[in-house]
Amino acid sequence: MWRRLAVLALTACGDPPEAPSDGPRTCEGSGAACTSVAACRSGVTTCDGCAAAEPIAGACGAGGTCRDGLCTATSEQGLANPIAGAGAFGAAVAADGRIVVGAPGDERAHVVEPGETGFAVAQTLASEFGAAGTLFGAAVAIAGDLAAVGAPRSTGTGAPNDAAGAVIIFERDPAANTWLETAQILGPDGGGFGGAVALSGTRLVVGADRAGDGAVYVYDRASPTVWTPSARIPAEPGARRFGHAVALQGERLVVGSLLDAGPRGAQGGARVYDRGLDGWVLAATLRPADPSGADTGDTQFGAAVATAGDAVLVGAPGYANGRGAAYLFERGTGAWELAADVYGPAVPAAGSAFGRGVHLERNRAVISHADGGTGITYVLRREAGGGWITVGLVRDDAAAPGVDVGGVEVNARLGVSGSTAILGYPGRSGGGVLAAHDLSGM
């Protein structure tokens, strides 16, 4: 069952203007009356709505209050690993109405659904192809009534090893509301096949980042029990650990490659493919920006990727000795350009992993990290003029020291107001915890 966790949601309201303290409240830089935070977001101005002794009523929205210049609210629920132990529950998370949570330490995946009093595990998924040591649950994906679970050390029914890999498909029976194992796909080249998975409709993409320099495989569902291979995309020249992360939306595929060489060492990369008459064609190779020159190599750019519309979000948790970063690219008139970059704390705590989990919608981006045992979710919103700004933080102060951050998804179909960020904390005591944050208003 869900247990309550202490959470602080923060939305920056800006700094006070240089006007006298007894002067009228204004949007800094515009002089317009400051009646709400949103009123100041049409340009590059900021609002002092909750930074002074006389906060503007409603500046933080319904249920929010002003504190130290920030909009604050409490909103979170948590679900502990249903199998006590070191299961790494939350190492992978996927959401599409229902939630699938990977627990590779237990070789399990769990389907989580909303109920009358919160959320609960509706079914635990297991497979003969997911025996001990296979890391079944290391990657998960869901699209409607289809779910894919990666087991990157599975050899089928044989002894697991690092040169193998499999993906197991489950399909929901709507009449009984139960998930049935319907197909098993063994990696043709091994190499950690199943370490990354993505579903869009009835198309499946699988990463195998240790098959040479890496490869990505595309399958299309021919029948409930048959998935036909339709493409194999090998690592591009210079790519290393290609297929470490994958994201799929319709006819667009994004592939993260963790260890591409860069000017200061292993940098990483992300590649965008579009499907046309000639199959999957490379449309862009994305690289991290480093405006401050702070990167020291091992950036891990491509550790996490997400796509929506003509935008791509890439996490780089190794940037600047673990400070971490995330980069948002958009396609303009034919070319892909950097639209926004966000960085973790200047002095990161051990295991910060900023950018380890990313999620992207057409008008919202979500980035997660662990900061010295505190789980934090950053929320960015696209402005009407096309730019991106940070509009909120959700802080989980209940995270245990040394907590890691696994998957992050945003689920807009849980039957709650607004939408909900689903985060996995696989390093928490008890075998991991799943957290749900209400992002209403962000």
Read off the pLDDT of residues 175-203 as tens digits, 9 standing for 90 and up: 999 999 999 999 999 899 999 999 999 99
Q: Report which of 344, 347, 338 is spatially closest to residue 356, judged by C-alpha positions.
A: 344
Per-residue model confidence as pLDDT tens digits over 23-48:
333 434 444 444 433 333 333 233 44
Please give the model's pTM, rounded to 2 decimal places: 0.82
336-343 and 420-425 beta bridge pairing = unpaired
Q: Residue type at 88?
A: A
Whether 153 has a pLDDT exceeding 90, the answer reads yes
**Cα separations in angstroms, 80 against 84, 103, 108, 112:** 8, 11, 14, 11
Residues contacting residue 193 through CB under 8 Å, at least 6 positions apart: 150, 152, 164, 165, 166, 167, 186, 187, 206, 207, 208, 211, 217
User: Does residue 72 or residue 263 have the better pLDDT?
Assistant: 263
Question: If pLDDT is split at 50, 70 and 90, which confidence band does 113 have?
Answer: confident
Question: If pLDDT is split at 50, 70 and 90, which confidence band does 151 have?
Answer: very high
- Tell me what the mean pLDDT of segment 291-318 comes to: 84
Residues β-bridged to residue 257 = 242, 269
Per-residue model confidence as pLDDT tens digits over 374-418:
566 778 888 887 788 776 666 665 444 334 555 656 554 443 334
Residues in the chain: 442
pLDDT confidence of residue 116: 67
- Tell me what the mean pLDDT of segment 248-271 comes to: 90
Whether 357 has a pLDDT exceeding 90, the answer reads no
- Tell me what the mean pLDDT of segment 55-65 comes to: 47
pLDDT confidence of residue 283: 96
User: Does residue 313 or residue 410 have the better pLDDT?
Assistant: 313
pLDDT confidence of residue 126: 96
- Give the domain ranges of the chain: 1-74, 235-405
pLDDT confidence of residue 319: 87
**Cα separations in angstroms, 87 against 140, 182, 205, 400:** 15, 25, 25, 16
Whether 97 has a pLDDT exceeding 60, the answer reads yes
Fold of 235-405: Methylamine Dehydrogenase; Chain H (2.130.10)
Share of the chain above pLDDT 90, in %: 43
- Tell me what the mean pLDDT of segment 416-434 comes to: 70
The C-alpha angle with vertex 334 and arms to 332 and 338, in degrees rounded to 5, equals 45
